[in-house]
Structures are given as C-alpha cells and as structure tokens.
C-alpha cells in the first residue's frame, strides 16, 4: 500500500499509483498543561475589648512566656497590657503561595516535528504582621521583649519594658 501526503500549492496535480492513494489528515499540534499550586492563608487570633485588654502569662509558672503571631490585640477606648514571667514576643508569621505550571506542546509538520516543554514557577512568600493597638500599650516581661515585623501603636503612651533586652525590627 502506498501512502501519499502532499502539502503544496499547485496549479494542477496528478497522482498516479498502481496501488492505493490515501490523502489523510495529519495532527499538527498537541498541547497538555499541568498546574500544581499551594495557597496558604494565615488567619490569626483577633482579641479586642472596647474598655481594654489584658493578657498575662506565667502567673503560676516562672517560665511562662507570651507569644503573639500573625494576630491582633486591640482596644478602641482602653489600654492594652501584656505581662509575662519570661519573654514576650510579638511577631509576624509567614504565608506562602506557590504555583508550578508545566506545558508540553508537540507540533508536527510534513517532514518535521518538535516538542516544547515549558516550566513556569511562581513562589511568593509574605509576612502577616501582628497588630497591637490601644490608648496606652504596656508590656512587662521578666526576660526579653521582642517585636518582629509587626505593628504596635498607641494614641497616648507606649511602654515596652523588659528585665533583659528589648528588640524591635525585622
């Protein structure tokens, strides 16, 4: 059996065969795509009190520490007070968004073919800050007080007290 394929522009064409002539379609392209994604959403704790908020750690345990991560503690009309027998840490928490797309394209022609594989990767890492706000914000720790990639705001007064060290920053 003879197979004839012709891709041309002719003013006239003639096919002569002692057997069989097949004029058939050809698959010119195939495409496939695969997407893998990871999408985190951080939802911290939200603690608020119009007349004030007070959080204490280590009342009965001298090693008690207070950690606030990716959360908010607010008072619209009152004070916010934190105390800990050991350390106080007000910090952000990481949030990750990843996407990987793999695309495979196959193209065929009369006398040629090609395969193209494309890999696209997007990675976004961000920080969700803690937010502390009140009329007056007071912290008192028996160890260290750390504020890391977070917001602490007071309208009338801010006091970050620590028996050891205080650190604010990234």
Strands, DSSP E only, in 9-91? 29-39, 46-48, 52-57, 66-69, 72-74, 79-84, 88-91
Report field, pTM of the whole predicted structure over 0.75: no
- Specify the higher pLDDT residue, 153 or 25: 153
Per-residue model confidence as pLDDT tens digits over 52-65: 999 999 888 888 89
Q: What is the pLDDT of residue 37?
A: 87
68 contacts 74 by C-beta, under 8 angstroms: no
Per-residue model confidence as pLDDT tens digits over 80-117: 999 999 999 999 999 898 999 988 888 877 777 888 89
100 contacts 123 by C-beta, under 8 angstroms: no
Domain boundaries, the chain: 40-92+129-169
Q: Is the C-alpha dihedral spanning 76, 77, 83, 87 positive or negative?
A: positive
Mean pLDDT of the chain: 83
Q: Which of 170, 147, 143 lies closest to 158, judged by CA?
A: 147
């Amino acid at each position: 059996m003879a197979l004839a394929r012709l891709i041309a522009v002719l003013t006239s064409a003639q096919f002569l065969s002692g057997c069989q002539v097949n004029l058939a379609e050809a698959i010119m392209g195939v495409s496939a795509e695969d997407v893998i994604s990871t999408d985190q959403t951080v939802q911290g704790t939200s603690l608020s009190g119009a007349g004030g908020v007070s959080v204490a750690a280590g009342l009965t345990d001298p090693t008690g520490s207070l950690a606030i991560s990716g959360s908010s503690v607010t008072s619209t009309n009152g004070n916010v007070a934190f105390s800990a027998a050991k350390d106080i840490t007000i910090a952000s928490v990481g949030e990750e968004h990843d996407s990987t797309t793999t695309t495979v394209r196959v193209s065929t022609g009369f006398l040629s073919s090609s395969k193209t594989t494309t890999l696209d990767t997007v990675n976004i890492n961000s920080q969700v800050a803690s937010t502390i706000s009140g009329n007056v914000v007071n912290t008192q720790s028996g160890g260290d007080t750390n504020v890391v990639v977070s917001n602490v705001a007071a309208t009338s007064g801010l006091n970050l007290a620590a028996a050891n060290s205080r650190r604010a920053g990234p």
